[in-house]
Amino acid sequence: MERTYVMVKPDGVQRNLVGEIISRFEKKGLKIAALKMLQITRELAERHYGEHKGKPFFEPLVEYITSGPVVAMVLEGKDAVSTARDMMGATNPLKAAPGTIRGTFGMDIGRNVIHGSDAVESAGREINIFFAPEEIIEYKRATDSWIYE
């Protein structure tokens, strides 16, 4: 099964959306393999957003992501990366499809509630930034046979 990294951003935590967001992923059939709340340090933010260093939005992005706690998670399932991305919706909430997480809860591109890996490779990189291998739990759910053939 594929793994992806998902993070409820500070605005999602402050707006009390964590449970609703996690519930959506669970109801879809994705399995939580790791989950934690943390305050991202500047160093961690710079590692996470490293590919944007030098761009005009880099500093505001780092300031925002370090402004409050986030909830980080590793989700697992068939095509987990694309499934989670589809559920999140377009980065700009005003262009996100109705019913997606951003389409439902977001109003501004700078406060779009959630982050998710955009590819299997970036998922691996982001998971390794935020989780130690021993924090990721391997287990079988009794319901898996009702989710997957």
Beta bridge partners of 111: 108
Q: Is 128 annotated as a binding residue?
A: no
> Which stretches does DSSP call E strand in 13-144?
31-38, 70-77, 114-116
Catalytic residue among 3, 24, 48, 115: 115
Annotation-wise, does 91 bind a ligand? yes
Per the DSSP assignment, residues forming a β-bridge with 36 are 72
31 in a known ligand binding site: no
**57 CB neighbour count, 10 Å cutoff:** 12
Annotated binding residue 9? yes
Task: Give 23: exposed, middle or buried? Use CB within 10 Å, 0-12, 13-18, 19+.
Answer: exposed
Query: Is 85 a known ligand-binding residue?
Result: yes
Is residue 58 part of an annotated ligand binding site? no
Does 115 participate in catalysis according to the annotation?
yes
Binding residues for ATP: 9, 57, 85, 91, 102, 112
Active site residues: 115
Which residues are annotated binding-site positions?
9, 57, 85, 91, 102, 112
